[in-house]
Amino acid sequence: MSEEQDRELRKTGAGLMEYSPEGIMPFGPVHPSLKEPEYFSLLLEGEKIVDVQARIGYVHRGIERAGQDNTWIKNIYLFERVCGICSFAHSIAYSQAVEALSGFVVPKRGRYIRTIIAELERIHSHLLWLGLVGHWTGFDTLFMWIWKDRERVLDLIEAITGNRVHKSYSTLGGVRRDLPDGIAESMKKEMEFIQKRVDYYSELVRTEQTIVVRTRGVGRLSQDAARRLCPVGPLLRSTGISRDVRVEDPYAAYDEIVPEVKTSNEGDIASLLKLRLDEVADSCRMILEAMAKLPEGGYKIAFPRVVPRGDSVFHVEAPRGELFYFVRSAGSIKPSRVKIRTPTMANILAATEMLKGHTLADVPVVLTGMDPCFGCMDRLSVVEAGSGREWMMNGEQLRTFGIEYYSGKG
């Protein structure tokens, strides 16, 4: 397809539907490199990607709506199930939004413990992504090694919170349990181990030629494009823009344990690798610092069942970027609206932009360079085929639309 044709097609507003189906490579919803169902149509020219169209909504679960039927405390366990990796980020974002609404202040020890778990979670999330980069580039040995080391962090999380994934550790007004006895020594041991491994992996991904040729200059996102497409988290930081909620709007104990914001000017996958490894090292430092400074005292306050009327917005720095919670209370035992904006939602446009001009071989590693969590992101919007007009619907409109749609189908 020539550039003129391309411009013509863009001018008329037609999407990928206009192209011949032969040139379109389906990527998803079921594909070995995507762990969650999401559909990307790649318009190929040989191996080169000309255009990408993302279609989301395969795992929309209606969690926001379900949250309106639960009491405030039950919602903790619901919202941490939005994401399997950054579940603690979700639970503290929600807890802190509700705490801000009621005006209660969490005891200092509770905030420190929250910080420690949030950073442990960042380590395990980043290690997960780093291992998967190995898998996507066909380097399964790296994948196994990194996940082997990640297992130690998960064991640590299990020892503290009682579960590896859904930690159920934060509650309204603090954390549910104190740190177990003797955790400080094992924490120190594990953090030193992780630090050592991170040093090794930094060296490996920088010097192993086959990884370097697969990641350097691949999936480059320029700073201008980043400003235009508004990605968040490591993806944004890799373009040289220093943004970190932990520093700019400190929550939990981040005002006392200050993270070091890492940036890079490359914006490619190699710089993302380095950035995330550096962040893991920084998290290790912060955890040890927090353990050393851990104040005595209570870790939790009693929290009332009813939350006063009002709106509250809270954002935290989840491992993948800025996670945003809006909570509205009508003064009852249930929230009347909870809105979640997960980091993947902000990043997906940038990821599709990054893909253009690369080859099919780069798709897995570029598409997932943002560390996607499609399950967290999915939402429902209706697109009219042909015109490309889209809109959001409320429940009643959706119902009428469904009736009309299916009556046409007989």
Partner 1 sequence: MNLTPLLVAEILLFPGLTFFVFMAFILEWLERKTAARVQGRRGPVVAGPFGIVQPVADFFKLSMKEEIVPEESDKFIMRWGPPLYFAAPAAGLVFVPVIALSALIQNQFDLFFMFFILSFTTLMASLLGYASAGRYSTVAVGRLVLQYSSYEIPMLLSMIVPAVLSGKLSLSGIVAAQSGHWFVLFAPVGFAVFIIAALAELEKPPFDIPSASTEIVGGWMTEFSGNTLAYVKLTKNLSYVFLSALSATLFLGGPQGPIFVSGAMAAVVLHTFYFTVKLLFVAFLIFAIRTALARVKIDQATRLFWTILTPLALVQLGVAVILGW
Partner 2 sequence: MGRRRVGKAFGEMLRMVWARPVTVKYPFEPAKVAGRFRGKLDIDPAKCTGCGVCKNSCPAGVIEMVKIGTRKVGDREIENRRPVFDLYTCISCGQCVDDCRFGALKLTGDFELAVFDKESLVMKKALKIVE
Binding-site ranges for partner 2 (CB under 8 A)? 70, 73-78, 141-142, 145, 148, 151, 155, 158-163, 166, 168, 176-177, 180, 200, 203-204, 206-210, 212
Residue closer to partner 1, measured from CB, 218 or 286: 218
Q: How many residues bind partner 1 (CB under 8 A)?
A: 31
Which stretch, 56-64, 104-112, 211-219, 313-321, contacts partner 1 (CB under 8 A)? 211-219
Min CB(302)–partner 2 separation in Å: 12
Min CB(24)–partner 1 separation in Å: 8
Closest CA to 214 of 325, 124, 115, 136: 136
| 367 dihedral zone (left: phi>0; alpha: psi -120 to 50; beta) | alpha
User: How far apart are the C-alpha atoms of 216 and 242, rounded to whole Å?
Assistant: 21
Closest CA to 26 of 3, 55, 48: 55
Q: Of these partners, partner 2, partner 1, none, which one is at the site of residue 222 (CB under 5 to 8 Å by kind)?
A: none
Residue closer to partner 1, measured from CB, 61 or 148: 148
- With binding defined as CB under 8 A, does residue 150 bind partner 1? no
Q: Of these partners, partner 1, partner 2, none, which one is at the site of residue 186 (CB under 5 to 8 Å by kind)?
A: none
Other beta carbons within 10 angstroms of residue 165's beta carbon come to 18
User: How far apart are the C-alpha atoms of 336 and 69, rounded to whole Å?
Assistant: 9
Residue 175's H or E segment, with its range, is strand 174-175
Structure tokens at 403: 């009736």
Residue closer to partner 1, measured from CB, 41 or 171: 41
Sign of CA dihedral 100, 325, 240, 139: positive
Identity at 161, one-letter amino acid code = T
Other beta carbons within 10 angstroms of residue 234's beta carbon come to 28
- With binding defined as CB under 8 A, does residue 210 bind partner 1? yes
β pairing state of 39-45 and 24-27: antiparallel
Residue closer to partner 2, measured from CB, 50 or 73: 73
Min CB(139)–partner 2 separation in Å: 8
Per-residue x/- mask for partner 1, residues 79 to 118, rule CB under 8 A?
----------------------------------------
Min CB(147)–partner 1 separation in Å: 9
Min CB(360)–partner 1 separation in Å: 6
- With binding defined as CB under 8 A, does residue 18 bind partner 1? no
User: How far apart are the C-alpha atoms of 227 and 182, rounded to whole Å?
Assistant: 46
User: How far apart are the C-alpha atoms of 199 and 149, rounded to whole Å?
Assistant: 13
Residue 90's H or E segment, with its range, is helix 87-102
- With binding defined as CB under 8 A, does residue 203 bind partner 1? no
User: Measured between alpha carbons, how far is residue 206 from residues 83, 202, 281 in Å?
Assistant: 31, 6, 16
Cβ proximity of 201 and 320 under 8 Å: no
Closest CA to 157 of 145, 170, 146, 144: 170
Which stretch, 172-180, 227-235, 298-306, 360-368, contacts partner 1 (CB under 8 A)? 360-368
- With binding defined as CB under 8 A, does residue 145 bind partner 1? yes
User: How far apart are the C-alpha atoms of 53 and 380, rounded to whole Å?
Assistant: 16
Min CB(33)–partner 1 separation in Å: 4
- With binding defined as CB under 8 A, does residue 138 bind partner 1? yes
Structure tokens at 354: 């990054």
Q: Of these partners, partner 1, partner 2, none, which one is at the site of residue 176 (CB under 5 to 8 Å by kind)?
A: partner 2
Which stretch, 70-78, 118-126, 129-137, 173-181, contacts partner 1 (CB under 8 A)? 129-137
- With binding defined as CB under 8 A, does residue 395 bind partner 1? no
Min CB(152)–partner 2 separation in Å: 9
Footprint on residues 227-246 left by partner 1 (CB under 8 A): none
Q: Of these partners, partner 2, partner 1, none, which one is at the site of residue 189 (CB under 5 to 8 Å by kind)?
A: none
User: Measured between alpha carbons, how far is residue 27 from residues 59, 135, 191, 293 in Å?
Assistant: 16, 17, 38, 48
Min CB(386)–partner 2 separation in Å: 43
User: How far apart are the C-alpha atoms of 62 and 4, rounded to whole Å?
Assistant: 42
Residue 6 Cα to chain centre, angstroms? 33
Per-residue x/- mask for partner 1, residues 301 to 340, rule CB under 8 A?
----------------------------------------
Binding site for partner 1 (CB under 8 A): 25-26, 31-33, 44, 46-47, 134-142, 144-145, 148, 208, 210-211, 213-214, 359-364
